[in-house]
Amino acid sequence: MASATSDGTTRRDFLYIASGAMGAVGVGLAAWPFIDQMNPSAAVLAMSSTEVDLTPVQEGQQITIMWRSKPVFVRKRTKKEIEEAKAVNVADLPDGVARNANLPDSAPATDANRVIKPDWLVLIGICTHLGCIPLFNQGEFGGYLCPCHGSQYDTAGRIRKGPAPENLFIPPYNFMNDTRIKIG
Amino acid sequence: MSAGESTYVPKSGFARWMDSRLPIMRFAHDTMLTYPTPKNLNIWYTFGGILAIMLVFQILTGIVLAMHYVANDKMAFDSVENIMRDVNYGWLLRYAHANGASMFFLAVYVHIFRGLYYGSYKAPREVLWILGVIIYVLMIATAFLGYVLPWGQMSFWAATVITNLFSSIDQIIPHLGTAISTWLWGGFAVGDPTLNRFFSLHYLLPFVIFAVVGLHIWALHVPGNNNPLGIDVKGPQDTVPFHPYYTVKDGFYLVLFFIVFAGLVFYAPNFVGDVENYQPANPLVTPPEIVPEWYLLPFYAMLRSIPQKLVGVIVLFGALAVLAFAPWLDTSKVRSMRFRPMMKPFFWILVLDCILLGYLGANRPDATWNLGGIEISLVWPARLGTAYYYAYFLLLMPLIGLLETPKPLPDSIAKPVLAAAE
């Protein structure tokens, strides 16, 4: 062929590869809307925050509120529960990091890093194993027991036993005053 | 198809005209009427036909239920109650569809264990077997999606647990698993977008199954049926035409199967269901015990027996994947367990093992057995059962095939039959 170069490739080979590559890119671009439509819509993504009044919660009690369609536990811990959580050696925990959205990712899972004020434990109430809602005040460690696959958490919401890989997550929140928090 | 030349003779002018344009009558004649079938197929071989009928039955009842069902998180539960109370014969159609899923799985388990017993997965039927594994996986996906639609407590929490299986990928690539879960949900938790897409896919997948069943039957008709002796068909003396011999036999057992099915629908329609699913979905409260439907309990027991999340998920999916490799894991040249004295008891232990795992999967994760005063956590028998399941495929199949001396095989399918007649 007249246009063949010295190594045997032709204009036709180039056109095949170029049009094939363009076609692949086009298919990929066309596929993306079909994939991305399943991601959370703009309405779902709209960031929301929730304010919680703490006055009705007595020591040893817990309330559950919804934040971004997830349950959030707000627990007023007893002195005994705080002492138990503080007594744990971080090196012995299955998950050694705090999982606290208000702190850097590497913060260790000490009790102090799991709370803002020691009395108040605020957690996303979703078991980190497969997403069930753990039961309040059950299990060997006095914190939570997941009814689905038996994960057990302590009074700082840290995983102690069972299949869950991570501590219960702590959402971003702050104290607006002594009796009111804002989540999100 | 390939088993024998076509014997179709068009009987009318129209049939001849059609045969030279689209030979669909020839195809039906060769695959459903004259298809040469081993003459020694027993009751366990009727479940293939039963399964085909069950698939059509589920599609028909499903299509009419979809005319009344509303895929919306506020309305789904009530729309199902409306079907149960107000829609004409809605109670019948829904109970038939829900129990039909159970009967479908009952039949497929008989079908799978029959294949394992008579060595139907071995050469030259590997592709047939793998297509069967694909159908089984699609059936599990379809059943799971369908179970979510009534939007009761079990529906909601089953959806939550199963979609969270994908979040275990976080342990390999951080955040990827969570991104996949969010993508599946269309939100930050199971919700209305999840229900909508599950309905869409629940409607789609049965038709995908239908297509793969077509390939499965095609792959069956190329080498022809295996049979209880596990030996090849030697000639026409070993076979009978599919019609009327097996249309009648399959039809008879289909009637018996539907009598059991009808008994379930009319006398115990909630026997296999969970009362918890008559509670509307509540994202704030996980039921004290969440369990899947009975046909998935063995896999659930495997998942729960492993204390590490990612490994548990791998063990769960691996239990399905390992089935696809059975044709190459089994080193025995003999197909049927009738002639495999060493392997046969291990097969029956596998059957009991799956039943045991099912029983364990139905119990609470912190349940214990009291054996003469000693408390044993059910996690231990579940681990043992899981280990045996894997060992059957990965150790026993390759090793026993090499170690075993099979019993002598008969010369042909026809010979023992004719000998008995003399």
Name the CA radius of gyration of chain A, rounded: 26
Compare all CA atoms of chain B with the CA of A46 and give the residue at the minimum distance: B187
Q: DSSP per residue over B45-114, as a string?
A: GGHHHHHHHHHHHHHHHHHHHHTT----TTTHHHHHHHHHHTSTTHHHHHHHHHHHHHHHHHHHHHHHHH
- Structure-block tokens of residue A173: 């929140």
Query: A22 pLDDT exceeds 60?
Result: yes
Least confidently predicted of B111-125, B284-298, B377-391: B284-298
d(CA B224, CA B227): 10
- ipTM of predicted complex: 0.77
Q: What is the pLDDT of residue B41?
A: 96
- pLDDT for res B289: 80
Q: Distance between CA B191 and CA B156 in Å, rounded?
A: 9
Model confidence band, residue A47 (pLDDT cutoffs 50, 70, 90):
low
Residue A38 has pLDDT above 80, yes or no: yes
Please report which confidence band the pLDDT of residue B302 belongs to, taking 50, 70 and 90 as the band edges. Answer: very high
Average pLDDT, whole number, for chain B?
Answer: 93
pLDDT at A2 over 70: no
On whether any CB of chain B is under 8 Å from the CB of A106, the answer is no
Cβ of B309 and A129 within 8 Å? yes
Residues contacting residue B271 through CB under 8 Å, at least 6 positions apart: B264
Q: In chain B, which residue's Cα lies nearest the Cα of A132?
A: B286
For residue A50, what pLDDT band results from cuts at 50, 70 and 90? confident
Select from B161, B165, B283 the Cβ nearest to the Cβ of A148. Answer: B161
Q: Which helix (H) or strand (E) holds A159?
A: strand A159-161
To the question of domain B35-421 being in CATH 2.30.130.30, the answer is: no
Domain positions in chain B are: 35-421
pTM: 0.89
Residues carrying CATH 2.102.10.10, chain A: 46-183
- Assign B1 a pLDDT band (cuts: 50, 70, 90): very low
d(CA B137, CA B112): 12
pLDDT at A23: 95
Instruction: Find which of A151-165, B27-41, B196-210 is predicted with most confidence, using mean pLDDT.
Output: B196-210
Report yes or no: A184 at the B interface, CB cutoff 8 Å.
no
Please list, in sequence order, all residues whose beta carbon lies within 8 angstroms of the beta carbon of residue B295, skipping any fewer than 6 positions away: B102, B105, B106, B109, B143
Which of residues B220 and B376 earns the better pLDDT score? B220
Cα B409–Cα B110–Cα B382 angle in degrees, nearest 5: 105
Query: In the 8-state DSSP scheme, what is residue B408?
Result: P
Residue of B nearest to A72 (CA): B284
Both tokens of residue B119? 């060595």
Q: Which of A11, A86, A117, A149 is catalytic?
A: A149
What tokens were used for A97? 């990091």
For B351-365, write each residue's pLDDT tens digit: 999 999 999 998 876
The DSSP-derived string for B187-245 is: SSSS-HHHHHHHHHHHHHHHHHHHHHHHHHHHHHHTT----TT-PPP-SGGGEEEHHHH
Helix axes B192-221, B153-164, angle to 10 degrees: 70
Q: Where does the pLDDT of residue B30 fall: very low under 50, low under 70, confident under 90, or very high at 90 and above?
A: very high
Stretch B312-322: mean pLDDT: 95
Test the A interface: residue of B153, B178, B195, B309 with most A CBs within 10 Å: B309
What CATH code would you report for A46-183?
2.102.10.10
Give the gap in angstroms from C-alpha B384 to the nearest C-alpha of chain A.
Answer: 18
DSSP letters spanning A48-100: --EEEE-TTPPTT-EEEEEETTEEEEEEE--HHHHHHHHTS-GGGSSS-B--B
Is A149 considered catalytic here? yes
pLDDT score for B2: 46
Burial profile A162-178: b = 16 or more Cβ within 10 angstroms, e = fewer: bbbbbbbbbbebeeeee
Least confident piece of the model among A140-149, B77-86, B103-112, B129-138: A140-149
CB pairs under 8 A between A and B: 94
Count of other CB atoms within 10 angstroms of residue B267: 8
Say if the Cβ atoms of A41 and B163 lie within 8 Å.
no
Output B263 or A5, whichever has higher pLDDT: B263
Q: How far apart are CA B27 and CA B21, in angstroms?
A: 13
In DSSP terms, B369 is beta-bridged to B376
Integer Cα distance of B301 and B259 in angstroms: 31
Whether residue A131 is predicted with pLDDT greater than 80 in this model: the reply is yes
Show the tokens assigned to B286: 């996980």
